[in-house]
Structure 1
Amino acid sequence: MGKVIHSYVIFLLLMSILLFSFETIVALKRILSFELIYHHSPRSPIYNPNLTDSQRFEESLRLSENRFLKLNNVEPTPVGHEITTIRPPIIYYQALYMVFVTIGTGNGSIGYHLDLDTGSYLTWTQCKPCINCYVQNEPYFDPRQSPSFVDVSCSDQNPCPQRYYHCINNRCHYQISYIGGSRTIGTLSKDTFGFHSSHGGHLEFVEGLAFGCSHDTHLTSDHHGYPSGVMALGLSEESFTRQLINHGSQGRFSYCLPPVGSNSISFLRFGSNIVQRGPVQTTPIIPIQGVCFYYITLNDISVGNKRLGFEPRMFARKPNGSGGFYVDSGSFITYLITPAFERVRKELRDYFRHKKLVEVDPQRYKTNLKLCWLFQPSYESLMPSITLHLQGAQMHIMWRELFLIAWTKGIFCFAMLPQDNSSILGAYQQANTRFTFDVLQSQLAFNPENCEHDSQP
């Protein structure tokens, strides 16, 4: 009898190991992706067909400038004793890209367009009952209709995660205060999210993802009924970047942005759905306590074949939190800290003066960019590239990702701007390069790619 029991116990143990291994393999093979929806593409719910390409560029530039100016004029603000503001403060803005997900199960499963933000801590959407919600075109999420919905409870033995939440009536509450007066208040919750799959275009469901169920939201920016919230891909524990590690992402997400103005489809990919082709380079991601942006080390810049010789501290992050260089798909163009921008501007002026191109006043052509020239025959053969000398890698930005070509105005302009506090690699300069963020290895990998061919989820 003892042998039978012993054999049965061993059998159950082996079955448990096999089942665990099977579930692990399934998780690793799970393929998740989102279609990236550019705000000014025909696939966007807020697409305006009456805008010209130049108007779309300037609108995207305006949104980007608003984000960056607010982000770098920030003072932490306490909000009382019961609820803690997420720090460092962040802003609400219309991001360049949205993603579509479903939240909930059963009759409570609703599809939402969420702004994609690699600089946010917590994914959130507006929920019933709404104490104060902005008007959105998609239904407010109703937790009572989703049988898989749960609030994140808290106790002395199971406190709310990190320092960004506060326990009230045994539930984790949050308040995200954005620069400029926007805010969202609610409870930390969990539910099932639906993602696109690369197999037949069906949805792949992931259970128990934490998100913010917001019951009181005030936005100071125009939103036209979209988005219905934010998808966070920052470096915090509650962002989807880290939550999806146990659901097949392997701690990796990747995107390849088509050039602005292209109608091609591209995808935000996770885990084994990421394929990197060609020469791949890597540079370390610098984790910073309390900051969820993806900082990397920029040492120097070359214009064409001329290295400018910046001192490394030009782009270093300073003890007061200013400075540094980070990658952000939510910013439309690249910003360089002002002394570096002025040095690059001087080099470009000298370069094009030598090529006999005529510089023009950007204000005359109604653009917010700072440096423009007239076309001349065969100008394409005269255009320089720029190289970012990173830690352990060289990122080459070709001229089509450096300059705005305003065909109707007969000019082209340098698509970077100065900024007093920090430097940032924006989406315009990221086009036609695949970026892969690995939060477990603290590493950014990148390689050239024709992103207009990134059409299969």
Structure 2
Amino acid sequence: MYFGDAAKLEGPNVQQIPMNSKDKYHIYFTGISVNGNRLSFDASICALTDGDPSKGTGFFVDSGAPPTILPTTVYQPLRAAMVDYFAQYGWQTIGEQAFDLCYTSTPKEGQSYPSVVFHFSKGDQGGEVDWTMDKDNMFVKLDAIDGFCMVVGQVPDPGPCLLGAYQLANFKLSFDVKNEILSFAPQRCQENL
């Protein structure tokens, strides 16, 4: 955690997302891409709405939640894209683990994890901000199964939609509550003593 001048986030790798700081640091989610392919789902399930519990509940940054949590409408297309991706290696999912999507293999030479990008609205500026996750943001190695799991949880629609601590790892974040801007940039946190 940084305060004062050390909290300023500047430089060419810094991206900014408008946020609604009055509602738990809500950011405006627009979609997810896996290996450059935009997933098909209605992102409005994660929109911030007033009072109607059957509609979206918002998309929040929550460093207290270990994994990202997504409603079924968003989670299932993400899960399906992962299953399709790893099927090229002949891998089958296993059940009854800490997370829903797990494998007893890990990528070997010539194999890789898929790229994952969360997309957020730039608000009045138009366009999107792409928050690119690396494999350590999306997958965790589990020695108990000699494999790995995707660290994203699922909840029934309509939500909540939370960007959790695994996905925030190795990013420096700045919450400018006054100007309602979330800034972020990649950072090797373990090297930042």
TM tier, smaller: 0.7 to 0.9
- How far apart, CA to CA, are the structure 2 residues paired with 1:376 and 1:310? 28
State the shift of 1:321 in Å. 5.9
- How far apart, CA to CA, are the structure 2 residues paired with 1:306 and 1:454? 34
- How far apart, CA to CA, are the structure 2 residues paired with 1:336 and 1:355? 26
- How far apart, CA to CA, are the structure 2 residues paired with 1:356 and 1:443? 43
The alpha-carbon distance between structure 1 residues 275 and 381, as it changes in their structure 2 partners (threshold 3 A), is: farther
Query: 2:26 is matched with which residue?
Result: 295
The alpha-carbon distance between structure 1 residues 305 and 359, as it changes in their structure 2 partners (threshold 3 A), is: same
Correspondence list, 1:40-59, <5 A: none
Query: 1:310 is matched with which residue?
Result: 41
Contact 1:301 1:310 in 2 (8 A): no
| Pairing partner for 1:435 from 170, 173, 179 | 173
Aligned residue for 2:148, secondary structure, equals: strand
| Pairing partner for 2:148 from 407, 412, 428 | 412
State the shift of 1:311 in Å. 2.9
Q: Which amino acid aligns with 2:98?
A: N
The alpha-carbon distance between structure 1 residues 304 and 319, as it changes in their structure 2 partners (threshold 3 A), is: same
- How far apart, CA to CA, are the structure 2 residues paired with 1:298 and 1:378? 33
- How far apart, CA to CA, are the structure 1 residues paired with 2:154 and 2:20? 23
The alpha-carbon distance between structure 1 residues 410 and 379, as it changes in their structure 2 partners (threshold 3 A), is: farther
Aligned residue for 1:339, secondary structure, equals: helix
Kindly indicate whether residue 119 of structure 2 is the aligned counterpart of residue 389 of structure 1. Answer: yes
State the shift of 1:377 in Å. 5.6
Query: 1:445 is matched with which residue?
Result: 183
Contact 1:281 1:445 in 2 (8 A): yes
Unmatched tracts of structure 1, length 5 or more: 1-267
Q: Which amino acid aligns with 2:116?
A: I
The alpha-carbon distance between structure 1 residues 409 and 376, as it changes in their structure 2 partners (threshold 3 A), is: same
Q: Which amino acid aligns with 1:383?
A: Y
Aligned residue for 2:2, secondary structure, equals: strand
Query: 1:338 is matched with which residue?
Result: 72
State the shift of 1:409 in Å. 2.2
Contact 2:42 2:73 in 1 (8 A): no
Query: 2:14 is matched with which residue?
Result: 280
Contact 2:70 2:154 in 1 (8 A): yes
- How far apart, CA to CA, are the structure 2 residues paired with 1:380 and 1:373? 17
- How far apart, CA to CA, are the structure 2 residues paired with 1:344 and 1:286? 26
Unmatched tracts of structure 2, length 5 or more: 123-128
Aligned residue for 2:76, secondary structure, equals: helix
Larger radius of gyration: 1
Contact 2:175 2:181 in 1 (8 A): yes
Kindly indicate whether residue 105 of structure 2 is the aligned counterpart of residue 372 of structure 1. Answer: no
Contact 1:299 1:310 in 2 (8 A): no
TM-score, normalising length: structure 2 = 0.86
The alpha-carbon distance between structure 1 residues 453 and 278, as it changes in their structure 2 partners (threshold 3 A), is: farther
State the shift of 1:449 in Å. 0.9
Aligned residue for 1:382, secondary structure, equals: coil
- How far apart, CA to CA, are the structure 2 residues paired with 1:303 and 1:379? 21
- How far apart, CA to CA, are the structure 1 residues paired with 2:113 and 2:45? 26
Q: Which amino acid aligns with 2:16?
A: T
State the shift of 1:358 in Å. 2.8
The alpha-carbon distance between structure 1 residues 303 and 374, as it changes in their structure 2 partners (threshold 3 A), is: same
| Pairing partner for 1:424 from 129, 150, 162 | 162
Name the % identity. 28
The alpha-carbon distance between structure 1 residues 439 and 275, as it changes in their structure 2 partners (threshold 3 A), is: closer
Give aligned pairs, total. Answer: 181
| Higher RCO, 1 vs 2 (CA within 8 Å, ≥6 residues apart) | 2
- How far apart, CA to CA, are the structure 2 residues paired with 1:409 and 1:312? 33
State the shift of 1:270 in Å. 1.5
Contact 1:355 1:382 in 2 (8 A): no
RMSD: 1.9
